[in-house]
Structure 1
Amino acid sequence: MTKRLAIVLTEGYADWECGLLMATARHACQATTVVLTPGGADVTSLGGISVTSAGKAEDARPEDFDVLVLCGGTIWQSAAPPDLSAPVERFLAAGKPVAGICDATLALGRMGVLDTRAHTGNHAGQLPETVPAYRGQALYRDQPQAVTDRGVITASGAAPVTFAREVLTAIGLGSPELLDYLAMYSNEHRPARD
């Protein structure tokens, strides 16, 4: 059966954070990616790319998708970020993974999801500074790669490669060939040879 990824994009979403995941899922894995947005509104990325929504993020159901992915963007630090606690709770209760990258980790922090799971984010101080109720400091992993713990995947905005790897692996699409393909995108961080 074809895997289906619910990709939540918001107004001002960060273009690079889910782009590799979406392209790899569709092209290399023959999966289906479905863009959902808060309220079902069309959105525009930080880079100016306009995206038509396929539906309301609030209505995402685990029986329709294999994973719920929250893309980062400016809205998660705003005074009125969207409340996606209902779909997140549904996915976790059904044993389906939930992933958040960059500032979308703030949404997971507001829901209390990160209080009991190993996780990462943009930097160690961001969650406690931005989310007063956050209690997961002892479980924060200050590392550049994505972190997966009990169905929750987190990453900084600078880790779209390991984020893609963790999401695809979590839904059963990981393979040595796929991991080699994704690793190619991080080769620029290796020291140059003379």
Structure 2
Amino acid sequence: MLTPGGHDVPSLGDVCVRASGKAEDAEPDDLDALVLCGATIWERGDAPDLSAPVRRFVAVGRPVAGICDATVALGRIALLDDRTHTGNHPGQLRDMVPDYRGAALYRNQPRAVRDRGVITASGAASVSFAREIQQAVGLGSSGLVDYLDMYGNEHRAAAG
């Protein structure tokens, strides 16, 4: 796992994620996709700047994905200004990213959104987020899609 600065990172559940390298050094020739994990760090003013690797991946057509608060990082580098996208809630990008211009393209929905190589999801949409990443890198199959859809059923409206 690549992490900002190449430092080990504790999760919100206090699990230590061991770094195998620096996220800033991520290269599209070495990875199938660049996935930014959600964390409250993206809401802070001193959030890591991963704009360079993100732009490298987008430039060559490699998928870039952000879930939960990581959508804020994608918004800060204007990736969401001209792509359909989602996030934790409609006001988060507007409130956290002063230059955000993509409000008309925001989809307030419980499933991940993929548009031109950029995948976004709320923190509650990990299953559809994983499905979109797998499909974007060519790992999707009808059986896998059905399986992941089954696990995403919690997002469907209850009958009755």
- The within-5 A match list for 1:37-52 is 37-52=3-18
Q: What is the deviation of 1:181?
A: 1.9
Q: Secondary structure at the match of 1:182?
A: helix
CA contact (8 A) 2:4 2:48 kept: yes
Q: What is the deviation of 1:48?
A: 1.0
Cα distance between partner residues in 1 of 2:69 and 2:155 = 23
Q: What is the deviation of 1:187?
A: 3.6
Which structure has more relative contact order (CA 8 Å, sep 6+)? It is 1
Cα distance between partner residues in 1 of 2:152 and 2:144 = 13
Q: What is the deviation of 1:74?
A: 1.0
- The within-5 A match list for 1:39-118 is 39-118=5-84
Question: What's the CA shift string for 1:140-161, capped at 9, x where partnerless?
Answer: 1111111111110000001001
Corresponding residue number in structure 2 for 1:148 = 114
Cα distance between partner residues in 1 of 2:138 and 2:30 = 16
Cα distance between partner residues in 2 of 1:49 and 1:189 = 27
Q: What is the deviation of 1:177?
A: 1.0
Which 5+ residue runs of structure 1 have no aligned equivalent?
Answer: 1-34
The verdict on how the C-alpha distance between 1:153 and 1:111 changes in structure 2, with shifts beyond 3 A counting, is same
Letter paired with 1:85: S
Q: What is the deviation of 1:188?
A: 4.2
Which 5+ residue runs of structure 2 have no aligned equivalent?
Answer: none
Identity of aligned residues (%): 68
Question: What's the CA shift string for 1:4-56, capped at 9, x where partnerless?
Answer: xxxxxxxxxxxxxxxxxxxxxxxxxxxxxxx1100000011000111110100
CA contact (8 A) 2:63 2:118 kept: yes
1:122 counterpart (88, 112, 123)? 88
Question: 4+ residue runs of structure 1 moved beyond 2 angstroms?
Answer: 186-192
Q: What is the deviation of 1:179?
A: 1.1
Cα distance between partner residues in 2 of 1:188 and 1:74 = 24
TM-score (norm. length: structure 2): 0.95
Corresponding residue number in structure 1 for 2:145 = 179
Letter paired with 1:173: L
CA contact (8 A) 2:110 2:155 kept: no
Cα distance between partner residues in 2 of 1:79 and 1:140 = 23
Q: What is the deviation of 1:189?
A: 4.8
Q: Alignment RMSD, CA only?
A: 1.4
> How many residue pairs get matched?
159
